[in-house]
Amino acid sequence: MKRLPFLLAFLLFLLTGAAAHAQRIQDASFRTVGYIKSDGTVQDASFKTIAYIKDNGTVQNASFKTIAYLKGSTVQDASFRTVGYIKGDGTIQDASFRTIGHIRKDGTVQDASFRTIGRTSDVPLSRAAWWFFFR
């Protein structure tokens, strides 16, 4: 009986811990389409690992092959070619500096025509930009 509070607390941690340490990616209908965990693991809605984002900004697919680099406000492909830019105001531009989307402070993600295409929950700007525009 002494272990019951511990077991209940542990079960509560298991049930809520994954959600508390993951940043949620949602589509325009508020359906969760993926997660970016605090360790950089990127999962789809079924919790299948599809990529990893390392602390240095390297993005690897599930087979650990490098597919992109997030370097400050620049997104590069695996060959170090710049494919996009992330401006401080949340504007996302392609390599030709054409605006391809926006990420608002409230987490709303919009395309170039300001149509809502998704939402994020506490996802760093560069990671959200990669998910929605460069993945």
- In tens, the pLDDT along 17-47 reads 444 457 889 999 999 999 998 899 999 999 9
| Pair of tokens at residue 127 | 């990671």
Q: Residue 129, exposed/middle/buried by CB under 10 A (0-12, 13-18, 19+)?
A: buried
Residue 8's pLDDT band (cuts 50, 70, 90) = very low
Considering Cα of 113, then 114, then 116, then 120, what sign does the dihedral take?
positive
Q: What is the mean pLDDT of residues 94-114?
A: 95
Q: Residue 42, exposed/middle/buried by CB under 10 A (0-12, 13-18, 19+)?
A: buried
**End-to-end C-alpha distance for the chain, whole angstroms:** 50
Residue 4's pLDDT band (cuts 50, 70, 90) = very low
Per-residue confidence (pLDDT) for residue 57, from 0 to 100: 93
Per-residue confidence (pLDDT) for residue 18, from 0 to 100: 43
| Pair of tokens at residue 65 | 């092959």
108 close to 116: Cβ distance less than 8 angstroms? yes
Residue 98's pLDDT band (cuts 50, 70, 90) = very high
Give residue for tokens 């994020």: 120
The pTM (predicted TM-score) of the whole model is 0.75
**pLDDT, mean over the chain:** 85
106 close to 116: Cβ distance less than 8 angstroms? no
Per-residue confidence (pLDDT) for residue 104, from 0 to 100: 93
> Does the structure show a pLDDT above 50 at 81?
yes
Per-residue confidence (pLDDT) for residue 116, from 0 to 100: 96
Q: Which residues pair with 111 in a beta bridge?
A: 101
Per-residue confidence (pLDDT) for residue 21, from 0 to 100: 52
